[in-house]
């Protein structure tokens, strides 16, 4: 088999595995298919999965078996906080760690963005058309899905995580800081994006605490949170009420 054919085979296999995994994620995460967009996405994923329906179980087992202790702690904590099933969530966590290593990003940051953008709902869509796990604007980033079968792949959670991480990486590089990158990522125009930055950075710090094996509250402001990232006083008061 030539190098070109080998690479093509690998890409097609990866797409099929991702499609099977995506369907499992949708079912296990309890996503409600309530509209034409969700049904279209599910139909598209099922078409991809039908190419090799036996591969999903292998992908699932592989994802669960590959969890390190920090990853397992993160899966357990995120599963309880966002009320999603730990088995499919483990594949997302493993992928975040792998992407972090490849792109020089903190995996906790990637997971924090996904949590704040979609609460790990792979079929989420915003009023402005941002889609999937990391709420990618597919009409702006169309070409980034060319190698994944088109923009409908935004509803494949692992594809969305890969594309969203690339966009986040580019934004941080262009802005010169994580703060600036997050501001660009959320598209803050009329505001400085302070509340969004706080939510993401706070969750990132909580996840670091979880990875260290520490008992970590779902909502408390992490110790050592930079003043720059703290929200307005009224928002802090509201968070304190939720925590208590």
- Name the one residue in this structure whose structure tokens are 């669960």: 64
Confidence class of residue 26 from pLDDT cuts 50, 70 and 90?
Answer: low
pLDDT at 138: 82
Residue with more model confidence, 56 or 185: 185
What is the C-alpha to C-alpha distance for residues 173 and 177, in angstroms, rounded to an integer?
7
What does residue 125 show for φ and ψ, rounded to 5 degrees? -145, 130
For the chain, the 3-state helix, strand and coil shares in percent, each to the nearest 5, are 70, 0, 30
Tokens of 209: 């605490």
pLDDT at 220: 83
If you average pLDDT over residues 8-27, what whole number do you get?
A: 46
**DSSP 3-state assignment of 130?**
strand
Q: Give CA 176 to chain center in angstroms.
A: 22
Question: If phi over 0 gives left and psi between -120 and 50 gives alpha, with beta otherwise, what is residue 176?
Answer: left
pLDDT at 148: 74
pLDDT tens-place string over residues 164-223: 999 999 999 999 999 999 999 998 766 778 889 999 999 999 999 999 999 999 988 887
CA distances in angstroms from 26 to 89, 102, 109, 149, 226, listed in the order given = 11, 26, 23, 19, 36
pLDDT tens-place string over residues 122-157: 988 889 888 899 999 888 888 888 877 777 778 889
* Residues whose CB is less than 8 angstroms from the CB of residue 199 and which lie 6 or more positions away in sequence, other chains included: 116, 231
Q: Which CATH architecture has domain 67-243?
A: Orthogonal Bundle (1.10)
Confidence class of residue 244 from pLDDT cuts 50, 70 and 90?
Answer: very low
* Residues whose CB is less than 8 angstroms from the CB of residue 54 and which lie 6 or more positions away in sequence, other chains included: none
pLDDT tens-place string over residues 59-112: 455 466 779 999 999 999 999 999 998 988 999 999 999 999 999 999 999 999
- Name the one residue in this structure whose structure tokens are 């990158």: 181
- Name the nearest CA neighbour of 27 among 67, 84, 71, 66: 84
9-37 CB burial, b ≥16 within 10 A, e <16: eeeeeebbbbbbbbbbbbeebebeeeeee
pLDDT at 64: 66
What is the DSSP annotation of 150-168?
SGGGGGSHHHHHHHHHHHH
Question: If phi over 0 gives left and psi between -120 and 50 gives alpha, with beta otherwise, what is residue 224?
Answer: left
Domain map of the chain by residue range?
A: 67-243
Tokens of 232: 């307005």
Residue with more model confidence, 40 or 89: 89
What is the C-alpha to C-alpha distance for residues 71 and 7, in angstroms, rounded to an integer?
30
Statement: residue 53 has pLDDT above 50: no
pLDDT at 189: 61
């Amino acid at each position: 088999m030539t190098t070109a054919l080998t690479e093509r085979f690998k890409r097609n296999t990866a797409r099929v595995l991702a499609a099977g995994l995506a369907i499992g994620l949708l079912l296990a995460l309890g996503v409600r298919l309530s509209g034409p967009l969700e049904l279209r996405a599910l139909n598209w994923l099922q078409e991809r999965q039908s190419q090799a329906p036996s591969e999903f179980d292998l992908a699932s087992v592989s994802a669960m078996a590959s969890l390190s202790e920090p990853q397992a702690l993160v899966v357990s904590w995120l599963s309880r906080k966002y009320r999603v099933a730990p088995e499919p969530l483990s594949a997302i966590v493993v992928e975040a760690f792998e992407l972090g290593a490849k792109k020089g990003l903190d995996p906790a940051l990637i997971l924090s963005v996904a949590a704040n953008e979609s609460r790990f709902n792979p079929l989420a869509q915003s009023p402005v058309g941002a889609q999937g796990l990391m709420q990618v604007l597919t009409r702006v980033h169309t070409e980034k899905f060319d190698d994944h079968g088109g923009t409908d792949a935004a509803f494949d959670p692992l594809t969305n995580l890969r594309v969203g991480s690339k966009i986040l990486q580019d934004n941080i590089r262009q802005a010169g800081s994580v703060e600036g990158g997050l501001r660009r990522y959320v598209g803050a125009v009329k505001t400085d994006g302070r509340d969004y930055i706080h939510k993401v950075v706070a969750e990132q710090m909580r996840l670091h605490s979880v990875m260290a094996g520490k008992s970590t509250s779902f909502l408390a402001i992490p110790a050592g949170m930079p003043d720059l990232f703290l929200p307005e006083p009224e928002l802090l008061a509201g968070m304190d009420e939720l925590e208590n």
